Amino acid sequence: MCGRLTLTSSAEEIASVFRLAHMPALEPRYNLAPTQHSLIVHDDGQGKRIAEPAHWGLLPRWAKDTSFGNKTFNARSETVAEKPSFRDAYKKRRCLVPSNGFYEWENRRGKKFPWYFHITDQQLFAFAGLWERWTNPETKQEVRSFTILTLPANADLERLHHRMPLILETPERQEKWLAGARKTQTIDPPPAPQLAGTLDTYPVSLAVNRAGIEGPGCIEPLAQQSDLF
């Protein structure tokens, strides 16, 4: 699964990597959790890319309130084309979720120990995502929301969890994912996972367990393994 991510690159780097003409203002995030807002990139329908903040936890148009998103921050790639919460967005509203890394936890001695996963050199990449428009029935305000696709974990992560986020680590994979929402006749299956060995990982502070904790210290490696165990 994917329940915590980072986005620490500058606005200039994000705009360059994802070919954006305009970037909204944003602060670096080192411990971003579901129900919070993160940046998504999607097609405007005319071949241009748009970047905007969105609520993490997909809200289908028939959701009664934002609490629905508490259970839709991830979507299983094997069933995303069939599930009522996701199938319309899968056909029409795909997005990229820019990130520099994510956390997964190891359960040991009754405690949860966080590990940080990232592409070599903490390279900027994207998760495969879906986005939706939802109108708050009380305020009539339109809300953008998103979910991140997951798939069975590969060897990089399987010792910690049986699921992992679907990572699009190259411009080619990112463009192919977005292009799938432009088709009208056929719907491509979700992309395959990246090859094992793409991700590096190291243990980080237990402070990461609290979603309100932010700052560069979240992604600093522990001084030594004994600090973890």
138 is catalytic: no
Structure tokens at 176: 């192919």
CA–centroid distance for 119 within its chain? 14
Return the amino acid letter for 184.
Answer: T
Look at the block and give the residue holding tokens 């890319």.
Answer: 49
Q: Which of 2, 95, 132, 218 is catalytic?
A: 2
95 is catalytic: no
Q: Which of 27, 52, 95, 104 is catalytic?
A: 104
Secondary structure (DSSP) of the chain: ----EEE-S-HHHHHHHTT-S-------EEEE-TTSEEEEEEE-SSS-EEEEEEEES---TT-SSGGGGGG-SEEETTTTTT-TTTHHHHHH-EEEEEESEEEEEEEETTEEEEEEEEEGGG--EEEEEEEEEEE-TTT--EEEEEEEEEEE--TTTTTT-SEEE-EE-SHHHHHHHHHGGG-SS--PPPPPPPPTTSEEEEE--GGGGSTT--SGGGGSPPSSHHHH-
Catalytically active residues are 2, 104
